[in-house]
């Protein structure tokens, strides 16, 4: 299957090389593209299929997954629309590449669109690793509860995501039925080796493990 199948997002796809490894959906931060998190995906789950779309929104020429009005202030109407687009893309890609529901791995803006998709289109992901995520929707809709595993990794010294905001996101996800493990790391907004180690361990844990 071509790695450049014409789907609704510009994307990069790497087929699985190990049977049973969970497919990963890699969602970059502001200014990134479909190549940014490929190396991280390979580290987190060697042998997994990797699917990495490029955000469609441009902010000063930098790709993002949805519009924002200011730092930390999101255009929530656009968030809702773009989360639907991402969920539709995942469905297309699963059909095209023969994938199981992926684990979303998102950083910053990519983590925020993943969180919004968990809240708006439950069932799109089999799990999610949210790196430096914040609340994408002030008042998410009530949805049928899911049992999705979520690892939320926040930085105690993050100048962009206040600790209260990350805690509120964890609460929203739990209210939607997700099994959330939230860790506050001695880090800023950038990723650390602790993020990688925790994410590796979380992915390797049995799906029925209690978060």
Average pLDDT over residues 103-107: 98
Query: Is pLDDT above 80 for 206?
Result: no
The CA distance from 205 to 71, in Å, is 35
CB distance 52 to 38 below 8 Å = yes
Tokens of 163: 């600790």
The CA distance from 21 to 179, in Å, is 21
User: How high is the pLDDT of residue 210?
Assistant: 46
Average pLDDT over residues 41-65: 97
Domains of the chain (ranges; CATH) run: 11-204 (3.40.50.1820)
Q: Give me the chain's average pLDDT, please.
A: 94
Query: Is pLDDT above 80 for 83?
Result: yes
Average pLDDT over residues 115-122: 96
Q: pLDDT of 140-183, one tens digit each? A: 988 777 889 999 999 999 999 999 999 999 999 999 999 999 99
Tokens of 127: 């799990």
Average pLDDT over residues 108-136: 97
CB distance 122 to 147 below 8 Å = no
Tokens of 41: 């995906």
Q: Which residue has the tokens 């910053």?
A: 108
Beta strand 127-131 with 103-107 is parallel
User: How high is the pLDDT of residue 1?
Assistant: 40
Which uninterrupted H or E stretch holds 12?
A: strand 11-14
Question: Which amino acids are annotated catalytic?
Answer: 108, 158, 189
Cite the DSSP H helix spans in the chain: 38-44, 76-97, 109-120, 163-175, 193-204
The CA distance from 190 to 180, in Å, is 21
The CA distance from 38 to 45, in Å, is 11
């Amino acid at each position: 299957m071509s790695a450049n199948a014409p789907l609704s997002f510009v994307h990069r796809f790497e087929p699985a090389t190990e049977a049973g490894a969970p497919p990963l959906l890699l969602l970059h931060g502001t200014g990134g593209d479909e190549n940014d998190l490929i190396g991280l995906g390979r580290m987190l789950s060697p042998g997994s299929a990797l699917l990495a779309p490029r955000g469609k929104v441009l902010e000063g020429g930098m790709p993002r997954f949805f519009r924002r009005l200011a730092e930390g202030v999101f255009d929530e109407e656009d968030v809702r629309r773009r989360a639907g687009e991402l969920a539709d893309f995942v469905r297309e890609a699963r059909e095209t590449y023969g994938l199981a529901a992926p684990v979303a791995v998102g950083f910053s803006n990519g983590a925020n669109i993943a969180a919004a998709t968990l809240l708006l289109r439950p069932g799109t992901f089999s799990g999610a690793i949210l790196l430096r995520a914040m609340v994408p929707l002030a008042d998410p809709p009530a949805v049928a509860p899911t049992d999705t595993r979520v690892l939320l990794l926040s930085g105690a010294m993050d100048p962009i995501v206040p600790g209260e905001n990350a805690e509120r996101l964890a609460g929203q996800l739990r209210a939607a039925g997700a099994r959330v493990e939230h860790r506050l790391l001695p880090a800023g907004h950038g990723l650390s080796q602790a993020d990688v180690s925790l994410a590796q361990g979380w992915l390797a844990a049995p799906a029925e493990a209690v978060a």
